[in-house]
Structure 1
Amino acid sequence: MSRTVTLVLVDAAGRPLGALPPYDVPEPWWQQVGAIVDEAHRRYGVEVAVLRLLTADRPEPPGGHLTYLAEATAPPALPLAPVSVDLTPHPLRAPWAEPGGPAGSLAWATAELDRLGRTVIAVAQHRTWNLSAIWRLDGDRGSAWLKQVPSFFRHEAAVLRWLTTAAPDTTPTLLAADDTGRILLDHIPGEDRYAADEAERAAVAAEHHAVQLRAAGDTAELVAAGVPDLRGPALARWIRDRLAPHDAAVAADLLAGLDDRLDQVRDCGLPDTLVHGDLHPGNVRGDGTRRVVIDWGDAFVGHPAFDILRLTETLDPGVAARLLDAWSARWRADVPGSDPERAVKLLGPVAHLRMAAVYAMFLAGIEPSEHAYHVLDVPACLERAAAAA
């Protein structure tokens, strides 16, 4: 599957220039823009930074015909097609999705690397959407990654600072961060481990257990640093508040009994700790020597079972059962008298309910033109929550 893209170009001041002819790119996922930038240069000699999605011809990713807004560094030599596009400002628009936004963030990252004695030689845009903008900066002392996130993910820098001290071998090296959601990370060799097999997932779970055991004693510090506090009753309130604008009737019984269910989870005796929030193999990166967990924007302080449930949710039941048994054995050994098996069983439906609330949070925090990234995820997660309950 591929994408057909149309780029509507503006200059650095935001003045519309016109549209490039449509062209195909091999990456089907809407937020991946590296090939879009490369093909614009190869086909038309235009240097661009993709700003944001404007329209899509299908209700959700991947694939299809997409129209993006892009900033051209110079007026292109070829004639552009006239196009009518709404460039009205929106209060929820990400700063990197505005003309001048990418240049400003790259200037910050370049200055931070210069302060560290690292000269930037080349930059490449990799991703842009409502949840992040990601650029690679290559230099004389290796590569670094600029990541910029919205306000609801800005605690990622606080998590990385804690990990740097408490579990430095498990996390990307944080080079710099500011209060606008920009973080600068050192390059991690290897690849994202989407294809991780059972043995590798088991290793990830065991390594993550050590991090969570360490974090259980630092929950107050993490909350004080800005990490969301979703312990017990706070989780129930948070879920209900975010799902209030949505039709959650399919999971009405689960929502009604949520407080009682979470009380039962508390009685299972496991400690609250740092939760990654989206611990699937794609958020693990490794090269066979070192393995780290990336993308901590979904992190919160809460129950550790949410991460093992995410790590096992797409697996064959037999494989998932083995990983869950090993997870439970570790917690029983470290917290004598606890009942991790019962906690997992009780939280299985809640994990899907929490994900529905996460997607609802995204929708509430992004402009309408980008709702297609997430709008169908809320009802899908609610259906899974109801089925699991």
Structure 2
Amino acid sequence: MRRIRALVTVGGEFVGAAPDFDVESFWLNATEDVVAHLEAVLGVPVSVLRLERTTEARRSGDLVVYQVEAEAMPRVPLDRSVDHDFPDHPLRVPWARPGGPRSLVEWADRHVTRTGPAVQVKTWHLSCVYRLPTDRGPVWAKAFPGFVADEAAVIALVREVDPTLVPEVIASEPGRVLLADVPGEDCWNPTPEVIADVVPRLVAVQHALAGPARSRVRGIDVPDFGLPDTLLHGDFHPGNWRSSGVVLDWADAHWGNPALDVGRLLGFVDPASHPLIERTWADAWLAHRPDSDPHQAIRHGRHASHLLGALVYQDFLDHIEPSERVYHEGDPAAERAKAQASLP
């Protein structure tokens, strides 16, 4: 449960605060329920621009304050007892500025025929995501910052090997991608069947895309144990899997040792699943590289994935404006502690 305060702007000018309200979602970047409530109360279309402040990122019941953009003056009086301004910040992402979300939807509309209102599902420093109903079913418009990978380009590489492992790209341009819907559910607790499906298919793609060694990402080195440098997903936790076998969110993709991906996965799942994941991943690599030692690679990959996580989270903190740091404050230190605890 979160307590929400919306500071409403029209054309970048503050017009008042809406009455506080509660939403069930715990995630600070989840906006669908926030937008639905405000549109019902204010009587005009709105979008969440950015997180203005919050008292605590991970405690239920704390006050969360958003800057919210209304497309027209609200049809109800708002609280103007306290004035607010919203100075720009050099690290602010384009979709957190006035007109940013609308620009993303207008771009998507040039590529699909929409049959209903676009729904803002998420916004934060890493992405702004809309679900659009269209004559071809739901599609997903996503904006992303320049310090992450070009998802469309990465998906195109994977599709050359296994088009069923990634979503269909309908359109893309720098900083934006429009994706077809993917059936199924997110797999935060993947079944053995899903593990047995997704893990070997990623390995097959990585084996096919392997090439000459390149510079290690962010200085993280893993002994190769006979495994190649290849394309990594970068955030291969099961929340980025769909039960239909498609892997989403390739924004953290990079080049390196594939043990980093399985290490990331093991850090997210129930320890009871670890033996199955390790066996499935190792058997898949042995089928492609019989002279490799994937079991030893796993031992190092679990440790190195936390070192990489610390650097990635610090990279986020270095690239985001102060009000958004609450999402990742403390994460680099937490990952370093996990790395220390997982020394091979």
- TM-score above 0.5: yes
Q: Is the 8 A contact 1:352 1:384 kept in 2?
A: yes
Residues 7-46 of structure 1 aligned to structure 2 (within 5 Å): 7-11=6-10, 13-46=11-44
Offset, 1:341: 1.4
Offset, 1:59: 4.5
Q: How big is the alpha-carbon RMSD for the aligned residues of Structure 1 and Structure 2?
A: 1.9
Question: Does 1:355 pair with 2:312?
Answer: no
Does the residue aligned with 2:107 lie in a helix, a strand or coil? helix
Q: Distance in 1 between matches of 2:61 and 2:258?
A: 35
Equivalent residue number for residue 138 of structure 1: 133
Does the residue aligned with 1:74 lie in a helix, a strand or coil? coil
Q: Distance in 2 between matches of 1:39 and 1:333?
A: 53
Equivalent residue number for residue 242 of structure 2: 285
Q: Distance in 1 between matches of 2:209 and 2:13?
A: 49
Equivalent residue number for residue 204 of structure 2: 210
| Residues 281 and 44 of structure 1: CA distance in aligned 2, closer, same or farther (over 3 Å) | same
More helix by share: 1
Gaps of 5+ in 2: none
| Residues 151 and 63 of structure 1: CA distance in aligned 2, closer, same or farther (over 3 Å) | farther
Paired residue total: 342
AA at the equivalent of 1:8: L
Q: Deviation per CA, 1:32-72: give whole Å up to 9, x if none.
A: 00000001122342421100000101154665210000101
Offset, 1:318: 4.8
Does the residue aligned with 1:375 lie in a helix, a strand or coil? coil
Equivalent residue number for residue 167 of structure 1: 162
Q: Distance in 2 between matches of 1:103 and 1:15?
A: 16
Gaps of 5+ in 1: 221-228, 240-257
Question: Does 1:276 pair with 2:220?
Answer: no
Q: Distance in 2 between matches of 1:269 and 1:86?
A: 57
Equivalent residue number for residue 97 of structure 2: 98
AA at the equivalent of 1:292: V
2:190 to 193, 196, 200: 196
Q: Is the 8 A contact 2:52 2:65 kept in 1?
A: yes
AA at the equivalent of 1:101: G
Under a length normalisation based on structure 1, what TM-score does the superposition of the two structures give? 0.83
| Residues 201 and 336 of structure 1: CA distance in aligned 2, closer, same or farther (over 3 Å) | closer
Offset, 1:191: 1.8
Q: Deviation per CA, 1:85-125: give whole Å up to 9, x if none.
A: 34111111010001111111111110122xxxx34432111
Q: Distance in 1 between matches of 2:168 and 2:32?
A: 23
Offset, 1:312: 2.2
Q: Is the 8 A contact 1:193 1:283 kept in 2?
A: yes
| Residues 122 and 44 of structure 1: CA distance in aligned 2, closer, same or farther (over 3 Å) | closer
Q: Distance in 1 between matches of 2:108 and 2:61?
A: 32
Q: Is the 8 A contact 2:194 2:245 kept in 1?
A: no
Q: Distance in 2 between matches of 1:104 and 1:383?
A: 41
Q: Is the 8 A contact 2:262 2:301 kept in 1?
A: no
Q: Deviation per CA, 1:293-339: give whole Å up to 9, x if none.
A: 00000111111111122222244545312321232122223212211
Question: Does 1:297 pair with 2:251?
Answer: yes
Q: Distance in 1 between matches of 2:99 and 2:131?
A: 18
Q: Distance in 2 between matches of 1:3 and 1:317?
A: 30
- The share of aligned pairs that are identical, in percent, is 38
